[in-house]
Structure 1
Amino acid sequence: MIKFAYTILYVPDVTRSIQFYEQVFGFVRKFVTPEKDYAELDTGDTTIAFASHSLAQNNLSAGYRASNIADRPFGIELGIVTDQVEDLIDKVWEHNGTIVEQPTQKPWGQTVAYVRDVNGFLIEICSPMH
């Protein structure tokens, strides 16, 4: 069996990161280590998880490139589907996220916007495909 189970974002502050996703998207904490260096959110079928930079450095001996809000985003995004794209854009802004692209109606009828979380990770917020 093969199943895509989770995505882990390496962040400077796990608590701040999960608070952003709780406050903006309404996700609920599923698991947090006592050290608060790793956490998972209940987001549906696929989990979004966060690991501290120090934990990630312990796991990856050759290192990695950390996300930085001052740099352009990585060539990857998290996709969040909602019937209320504009409302979520407002929440992102209220909770110190960054608006990259305002909501746009695509030719196929979907509304799509792009934001960055407090760590600079790219998120697509879009309406469902019908």
Structure 2
Amino acid sequence: MGGAQLAYVIVYVQDVNKAADFYSKAFGLQIRPQNKTNSWVEMETGTTTLAFTPAKQREAQLIGGVSSSDEGHHNVEICLDFPDVERAYKHAIDQGASPVAGPEDKVWQQKVCYVKDINGNVVRLGSFVAK
């Protein structure tokens, strides 16, 4: 066994197309047109796909349901890297994201800030880190 690769991060939302349109406008992600339906939308994000699916569906019930992010509990943080974090932060807020924490330099040589998307999910915007 071995060689596993992260393929998807799936976010449960009320309206998949509204979520995808927001991520397209606020963060510049491209919607994969062949997958845009009312029950599934995929975004181009590099090697791992970010996808949106309805909170109320059979698969969500299999895992015991999903909690709403407006309950104040956040189990997942979506992290996106940008060449200009300050610009990405301002643009996301201009497109309807809620500010959480403004850009700051971290000790691990990355600039990071936080916003909430239109569904209340935490999104971290960071600079690229040398590998």
How many percent of aligned residue pairs carry the same amino acid? Answer: 29
In structure 1, list runs of 5 or more residues that go unmatched.
Answer: none
Distance 1:121 1:78, change over 3 A: same
The 2-side partners of 1:73 and 1:84 are apart by: 29
SS at match of 2:4: coil
The 2-side partners of 1:4 and 1:87 are apart by: 28
When the two chains are superposed, the root-mean-square deviation of aligned CA atoms in Å is 1.5
Q: Describe the superposition over 1:24-80 as per-residue Cα deviations: whole angstroms up to 9, x where unpaired.
A: 2211111112xx12111111100010011223xx22243221222xx4351421111
Detail structure 1 runs of 4+ shifted over 6 Å in the superposition.
none
Name the residue aligned to 1:17. 19
Number of residue pairs the alignment of both structures matches: 124
The 2-side partners of 1:72 and 1:88 are apart by: 25
The 2-side partners of 1:5 and 1:79 are apart by: 15
Give yes or no for contact 1:96–1:118 (8 Å, CA) kept in 2: yes
What's the TM-score, normalizing by structure 2?
0.86
The 2-side partners of 1:76 and 1:21 are apart by: 16
1:6-85 alignment, distance < 5 Å = 6-30=8-32, 31-33=35-37, 36-55=38-57, 58-59=58-59, 60-61=61-62, 62-68=64-70, 71-85=71-85
Name the residue aligned to 1:117. 117
The 2-side partners of 1:18 and 1:7 are apart by: 13
